[in-house]
Amino acid sequence: DEIIRLVADMLKRLTRPGDLFGRFGGEEFLFVLVDTDENDVRAYAERIRSEIARRGEIMKARFHDLDLTVSIGVTLYQPNFKSYADMIEAADQAMYRAKTSGRNRVVLFNEIPPGTPYAASRRRHED
């Protein structure tokens, strides 16, 4: 719980006015960024990733030498999404890809090859 609060405080400081974020699951956060293109969202996600990793290194002894890192999945609005759930699923698949390809990284949904079998239900059982 302490780590979740620490991460939430960092995210709050790194989020622009007008953007939204909230806890979406046990250890998951969901962001909604306005007026943000692919380059901006990648830079924002990388800033979050590197800040959490940096803070984790500073606090490593406090957390019994556990690594504090984050895997971030990103999607941008696409006209073929039929609902918000489709967008969330796409971001979830990208996050799963970030976790399975080494963790502590950012993956955009459009970087996942079409037909790659990443299922959110599989990921949830592995956490």
- Contact (CB, 8 A) for 97 and 116: yes
Is 27 part of the annotated catalytic residue set? yes
Q: Under DSSP, is residue 48 helix (H, G, I), strand (E, B) or coil?
A: helix
Supply the DSSP symbol for 108. Answer: E
Task: Find the catalytic residue in 2, 27, 38, 126.
Answer: 27
C-alpha torsion angle, residues 101, 105, 111, 116 (rounded to 10): 30
The catalytic residues are: 27
